[in-house]
């Protein structure tokens, strides 16, 4: 216990899925957590569940002014910021030929512009409370492509590179802020559950997804949260610009 004691962690998409699991784990390990989500009611429910060590803030990650307001609220509540976790994400299962410009822009706005805006406005605050750690949840789809994932693939690949350029920027400036990316495969979250339903027969779609994973199952949210916890903690103080693949062996094939 206490692996991130006395740290303040800001988590986007914290109302559900990987963000929620990460917030709960961070709090159990001693951090004060900020649950940021456009689903304010959901964020508030998670904060109440965690208790006094958590607050909820409204955040559309594509909105620069909301980022500034949410980070201001973080500093007002907890006096600083040490960890930033970019968990908010969206996907559209369409090929490069079928996706609309509006869908393309939306996916990139959430998955890429969101982390960019967060890093831009969080880094000046984090360097005053170093050491700091930024974790971008990308995807195995940012490393390997799918025929019907044009916007998701490209946005997650760009997020991977954003982590690396941010890591080098902070290292060159001597900020003592690290930045890394995490690349999960299918994790049993509401986003994947919606994919199962959209496929028509959830049981068959789940079986198909599991058959692609050498370990033979979908990942669990805590499988990812434990990796994020390591990257948020001082245990990973020499790790920056790296990518952590949590794919049950998919990319080893």
- Of all helices (H) and strands (E), which one includes residue 75? helix 64-78
Write the pLDDT tens digit of every residue in 29-87. Answer: 999 999 999 999 999 999 999 999 999 999 999 999 999 999 999 999 999 999 999 99
Whole-model pTM? 0.96
pLDDT at 58: 98
Confidence of residue 165 (pLDDT cuts 50, 70, 90): very high
Neighbours of 92 (CB within 10 A): 17
Confidence of residue 22 (pLDDT cuts 50, 70, 90): very high
Average pLDDT over residues 112-137: 98
Average pLDDT over residues 83-99: 96
CB 233 within 8 A of CB 5: no
Pair of tokens at residue 67: 């980022």
pLDDT at 159: 98
Write the pLDDT tens digit of every residue in 209-243. Answer: 889 999 999 999 999 999 999 999 999 999 999 99
Confidence of residue 134 (pLDDT cuts 50, 70, 90): very high
The phi and psi torsions of 83 (rounded to 5 degrees) equal: -135, 135
pLDDT at 72: 98
CB 179 within 8 A of CB 241: yes
| Portion of the chain with pLDDT greater than 90, in percent | 89
Beta bridge partners of residue 238, listed in sequence order: none
Enzyme catalytic residues: 152
pLDDT at 204: 83
Compute the distance between CA of residue 201 and CA of residue 64 in angstroms, rounded to an integer: 39
pLDDT at 179 over 90: yes
């Amino acid at each position: 216990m206490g692996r991130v004691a006395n740290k303040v962690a800001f988590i986007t998409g914290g109302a559900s899925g990987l963000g929620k699991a990460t917030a709960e784990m961070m709090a159990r390990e001693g951090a004060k957590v900020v649950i940021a989500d456009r689903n304010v009611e959901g964020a508030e429910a998670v904060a109440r569940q965690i208790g006094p060590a958590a607050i909820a803030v409204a955040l559309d990650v594509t909105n620069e002014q909301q980022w500034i307001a949410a980070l201001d609220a973080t500093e007002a509540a907890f006096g600083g910021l040490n960890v930033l976790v970019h968990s908010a994400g969206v996907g559209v299962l369409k090929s490069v030929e079928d996706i609309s410009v509006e869908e393309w822009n939306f996916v990139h706005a959430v998955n890429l512009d969101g982390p960019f805006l967060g890093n831009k406005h969080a880094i000046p605050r984090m360097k005053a409370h170093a050491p700091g750690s930024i974790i971008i949840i990308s995807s195995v789809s940012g490393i390997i492509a799918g025929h019907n994932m044009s916007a998701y693939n490209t946005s997650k690949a760009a997020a991977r590179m954003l982590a690396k350029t941010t890591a080098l920027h902070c290292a060159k400036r001597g900020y003592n802020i690290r930045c890394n990316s995490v690349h999960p495969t299918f994790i049993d979250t509401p986003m994947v559950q919606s994919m199962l339903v959209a496929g028509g027969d959830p049981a068959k779609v789940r079986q198909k997804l599991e058959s692609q994973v050498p370990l033979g199952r979908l990942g669990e949210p805590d499988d990812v949260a434990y990796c994020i916890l390591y990257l948020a903690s001082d245990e990973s103080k020499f790790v920056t610009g790296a990518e952590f693949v949590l794919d049950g062996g998919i990319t080893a094939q």
